[in-house]
């Protein structure tokens, strides 16, 4: 497979996963506003911090309010990580990779693009925000399901899986970071911790799997341990990073990358202390994000450099 084709397939998976997870993250905050007791000052700007987009936001907006954060993350064409921009890049990568990826995905991403652009106000306003974000999540899952159902398990498939799982691992760290930030930044209130961690599980569609695995009520340490270490849930860090290493092992010229991927997986499992879910958890998640980013850089250098 040519380097440029491999890069497009890899980035198609990353952008598509990022679109879905950004919609999930926004939906979590939206639900929290409804669930937390009145008087709790939940900060939407935390989402900008979690995504590492403070500089871009500050250049565009003077007020850190709900409307500006949502406009920045959903509709702002000057924000490279906004949903409209990421859908654009999924389209561009699909358009130039239609000999590798299923042709039907082109039609589906065009439908999603039209839906988002025609209903973008619904995503910013409160009244229909949930339906708007839920539509995006379902549309992304439809595209992924199509790929899973019809693609040959060749190099193109492994690059697709590699992109999806490295992006998914990164986003799981951000879901956990969102929970830790809310616990640290908001004053204690009745059922606050349970509400926050329940929404973190919801963001990863993990409530049912969590309850089946633990058989207990939602608690911060159990939720974090589940999303870090569970080996069967497809959004846990262990599952995603293990899949990343497996995909690398299936591709050529993989020796050093396999070692790096193994070290990131080992770091994710052996470094965390589940009794410390404050700043210690956020530091751990930040270090892990840096290591995932470095792994991505090695992948690009090894397979995508022309």
* Structural domain boundaries enclosing 234: 152-305
Residues 7 and 147 grouped into a single domain: yes
* Tens-place pLDDT, residues 214-236: 988 899 999 999 999 999 999 99
Over 70: is that where the pLDDT of 171 sits? yes
Q: Is 211 found in the same domain as 183?
A: yes
Q: How many CB atoms lie within 10 A of CB 51?
A: 21
Q: Are residues 97 and 243 in the same domain?
A: no
Is 90 exceeded by the pLDDT of residue 278? Answer: no
Residues of the chain with pLDDT > 90, as a percent, come to: 71
Q: Are 44 and 170 within one domain?
A: no
Q: For a pLDDT cut of 70, what percent of the chain falls above it?
A: 95
Please check whether residues 4 and 147 belong to one and the same domain.
Answer: yes
The yes-or-no verdict on residue 260 having pLDDT over 80 is: yes
Domain co-membership, 179 together with 263: yes
Question: What 3-state class would DSSP assign to 15?
Answer: helix
Is residue 104 domain-shared with residue 166, that is, in the same domain? no
Give the residue ranges of DSSP H helices in the chain: 3-35, 45-50, 54-60, 66-70, 83-95, 104-118, 120-124, 129-150, 155-185, 192-203, 207-214, 220-229, 237-250, 255-270, 279-299
Q: Select the more confidently predicted residue: 7 or 275.
A: 7
Domains: count for the chain? 2
Average pLDDT across the chain, whole number: 91
What single-letter DSSP state applies at residue 37? P
Cα dihedral: 245, 249, 254, 257 (round 10): 10
Between 113 and 37, name the one with better pLDDT: 113
| 180 lies in the same domain as 244 | yes
Q: Are residues 117 and 224 in the same domain?
A: no
Segment 118-158, tens digit of pLDDT: 999 998 988 899 999 999 999 999 999 999 999 999 999 99
pLDDT at residue 38 greater than cutoff 70: no
Of the three residues 93, 126, 151, the one that is the final residue of a domain is 151
Asked if residue 279 and residue 203 are part of one domain, the reply reads: yes
Residue 173 and residue 134 share a domain: no
Residues 120 and 77 in one domain: yes
């Amino acid at each position: 497979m040519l380097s440029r084709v491999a890069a497009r397939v890899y980035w198609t998976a990353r952008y598509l996963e990022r679109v879905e997870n950004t919609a999930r993250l926004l939906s979590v905050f939206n639900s929290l506003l409804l669930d937390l007791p009145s008087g709790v000052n939940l900060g939407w700007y935390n989402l900008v911090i979690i995504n590492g987009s403070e500089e871009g936001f500050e250049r565009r907006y003077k007020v850190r309010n709900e409307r500006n954060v949502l406009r920045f993350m959903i509709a702002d064409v000057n924000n490279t990580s906004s949903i409209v921009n990421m859908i654009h890049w999924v389209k561009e990568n699909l358009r130039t990779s239609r000999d590798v990826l299923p042709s039907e995905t082109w039609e589906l991403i065009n439908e999603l693009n039209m839906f988002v652009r025609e209903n973008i106000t619904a995503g910013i306003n409160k009244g229909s925000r949930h339906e708007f974000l839920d539509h995006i999540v379902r549309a992304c899952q439809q595209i992924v399901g199509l790929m899973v159902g019809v693609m040959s398990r060749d190099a193109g498939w492994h690059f697709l899986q590699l992109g999806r799982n490295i992006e998914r691992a990164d986003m799981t760290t951000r879901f956990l970071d969102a929970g830790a930030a809310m616990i640290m930044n908001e004053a204690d209130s009745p059922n606050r911790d349970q509400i926050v961690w329940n929404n973190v599980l919801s963001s990863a569609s993990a409530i049912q799997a969590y309850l089946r695995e633990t058989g207990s009520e939602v608690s911060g340490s159990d939720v974090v341990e589940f999303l870090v270490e569970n080996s069967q849930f497809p959004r846990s860090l262990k599952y995603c990073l293990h899949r990343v290493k497996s995909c690398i092992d299936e591709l050529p010229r993989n020796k050093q990358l396999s070692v790096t991927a193994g070290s990131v997986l080992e770091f994710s499992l052996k470094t965390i202390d589940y009794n410390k879910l404050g700043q210690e958890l956020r530091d751990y998640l930040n270090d892990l994000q840096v290591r995932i980013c470095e792994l991505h850089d090695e992948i690009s250098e090894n397979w995508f450099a022309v």
